[in-house]
């Protein structure tokens, strides 16, 4: 018989907290006495102090609202409401990582912001192996950030008539969307009909920005053009119908991409695998076969070990939208024998990064992009290639650690052991 230990443990905890009928009052609704925060977009030393007067924890105030943060309050307020301070996350360097890319070329020191000990060491080890093998080859294969507005009609006939109108008026829709942006371009419109509802997949290029807000504003203008000019008027429309895969791992994103699709690859000679990774190509391939089976049986989108670790650390360090890791951390890792060496590659269809816009202008995040040499206009595609190359290094390192039986030991010595 299978004993559900987690269920019995939870019941035990509940019984400890609820020993009499009166204890149920703690989870009953409570009316009154609630004072909501009013969203404040602007910020100043006075507004920050007012929030801390309400919080009433001076020790926390000293750590979150340090003098430098308070002085730069208007700059931080561009990215957040109700500003009370900033949080410091440790930043470490991985690399140097040699990249021979279409857009990124050189030896990159990669800043990673994380609270997970052993992460930077692991990615650095993979970077050493890849760089000693001559570097990682990278290329952006295509790009396009999706928005999927939804239009609701009376029935299937009206939905079909709308699609026909949209096809005939594609240039007018493109003009309406692009009138809102200097850098965004609407490159495709793809209708999907489900009875009386039409999802219109709008794919944009966004220059050097990740472009989430850019495509939302452009799509809003497109939808308003539809409402004003389409003879088959929708009963309702929504600027996003939850079809695009925005901040979600999806089959659509895995197949067609959302953001920049990047491939990165390197062939590791057997001596590099032995000297740097302390294992062999055959052992890494043996583990890879088991890992791919696990990915298949568990229904993963793609097949990879842990893109999210490196992406989250890079995104936080460089001012990207960290929630986009949910969709960016999808893709396929391949390892194949090449002579006596090991060919390793990643293909990632949803890398959403930018060298401008969003949090990239904040002081620390701009400094991290400066460390990479990729701050400002002209560097968005190169940053995407760095992200893919970094993820490849992480895959190489973790697969080697698993194959050699070193994974647990590394975390004990670099994480738990260091804390002790």
pLDDT of 418 > 80? The answer is no
Pairing of strands 341-351, 259-268: antiparallel
Pairing of strands 150-152, 236-238: antiparallel
pLDDT in tens, 256-269: 889 999 999 999 99
Q: In this structure, are residues 162 and 234 in contact, taking their beta carbons and an 8 Å threshold? A: yes
Give how far the C-alpha of residue 307 lies from the chain's centroid of Cα atoms, to the nearest Å: 10
Q: Give me the pLDDT at residue 113, please.
A: 98
Residue 7 CA to residue 370 CA, distance in Å, equals 50
pLDDT in tens, 336-364: 999 999 999 999 999 999 999 999 999 99
pLDDT in tens, 8-29: 888 888 888 888 877 778 788 8
Tell me what the pLDDT averaged over the chain comes to.
93
Q: Give me the pLDDT at residue 3, please.
A: 62
pLDDT of 286 > 80? The answer is yes
Residue 29 CA to residue 48 CA, distance in Å, equals 32
Answer positive or negative: Cα dihedral of 310, 311, 316, 319. positive
What are φ and ψ of residue 338, in 5° steps? -135, 100
pLDDT of 234 > 60? The answer is yes
Residue 245 CA to residue 67 CA, distance in Å, equals 40
Region at 82 (left for phi over 0; alpha for psi -120 to 50; beta for the rest): left
Among 113, 111, 92, 88, CA closest to 313: 113
pLDDT of 160 > 80? The answer is yes
Pairing of strands 197-205, 150-152: antiparallel
Q: pLDDT exceeding 90 applies to what percent of the chain?
A: 85
Tokens linked to 240: 């996003």
pLDDT of 215 > 60? The answer is yes
Strands (DSSP E) contained in 114-258 are 136-147, 150-152, 185-194, 197-205, 236-238
pLDDT of 7 > 90? The answer is no
Q: Give me the pLDDT at residue 411, please.
A: 61
Residue ranges of domains in the chain, CATH in brackets: 43-88 (no CATH), 94-143+258-419 (3.90.770.10), 149-238 (3.30.70.420)
Q: Give me the pLDDT at residue 413, please.
A: 65
HSE (side-chain half, CA atoms, 13 Å) at 103: 22
Residue 390 CA to residue 110 CA, distance in Å, equals 8
Kindly state the average pLDDT of the residues 125-132: 98
Q: Give me the pLDDT at residue 146, please.
A: 95
Q: Give me the pLDDT at residue 288, please.
A: 95
Catalytic residues: 116, 247, 321, 411
pLDDT of 409 > 80? The answer is no
């Amino acid at each position: 018989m299978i004993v559900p230990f987690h269920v019995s443990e939870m019941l035990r905890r509940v019984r400890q907290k609820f020993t009499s009928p009166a204890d149920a009052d703690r989870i009953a609704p409570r009316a009154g006495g609630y004072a909501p925060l009013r969203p404040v977009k602007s910020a100043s030393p006075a507004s920050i102090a007012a929030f801390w007067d309400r919080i009433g924890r001076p020790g926390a105030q000293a750590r979150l609202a340090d003098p430098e943060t308070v002085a730069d309050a208007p700059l931080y307020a561009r990215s957040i409401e109700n500003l009370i301070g900033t949080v410091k996350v440790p930043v470490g360097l991985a690399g140097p990582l040699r990249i021979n890319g279409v857009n990124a070329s050189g030896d990159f020191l990669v800043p990673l912001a994380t609270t997970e000990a052993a992460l930077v060491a692991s990615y650095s080890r993979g970077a050493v192996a890849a760089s000693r093998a001559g570097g990682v080859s990278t290329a952006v294969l295509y790009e396009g950030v999706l928005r999927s507005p939804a239009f609701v009609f009376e029935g299937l006939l009206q939905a079909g008539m709308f699609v026909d109108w949209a096809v005939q008026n594609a240039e007018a829709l493109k003009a309406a969307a692009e009138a809102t942006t200097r850098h965004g371009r609407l490159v495709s419109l793809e209708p999907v009909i489900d009875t009386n509802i039409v999802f219109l997949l709008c794919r944009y290029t966004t220059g050097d920005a990740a472009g989430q807000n850019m495509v939302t504003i452009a799509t809003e203008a497109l939808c308003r053009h539809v409402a004003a000019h389409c003879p088959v008027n929708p009963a309702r429309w929504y600027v996003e119908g939850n079809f695009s895969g925005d901040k979600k791992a999806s089959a659509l994103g895995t197949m067609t991409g959302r953001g920049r699709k990047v491939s990165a690859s390197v062939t590791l000679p057997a001596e590099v695998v032995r000297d740097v990774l302390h294992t062999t190509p055959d052992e890494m391939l043996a583990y890879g076969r088991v890992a791919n089976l696990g990915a298949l049986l568990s229904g993963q989108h793609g097949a990879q070990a842990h893109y999210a670790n490196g992406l989250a650390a890079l995104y936080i360090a460089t001012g990207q939208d960290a929630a986009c890791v949910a969709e960016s951390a999808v893709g396929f890792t391949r390892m194949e024998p090449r002579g006596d060496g090991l060919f390793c590659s990643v293909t990632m269809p949803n890398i959403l990064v930018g060298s401008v816009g969003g949090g990239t202008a904040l002081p620390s995040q701009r400094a991290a992009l400066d460390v990479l040499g990729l701050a400002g206009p002209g560097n968005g595609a190169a940053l995407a290639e760095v992200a893919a190359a970094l993820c490849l290094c992480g895959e190489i390192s973790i697969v080697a650690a698993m194959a050699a039986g070193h994974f647990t030991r590394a975390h004990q010595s670099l994480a738990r052991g260091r804390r002790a």
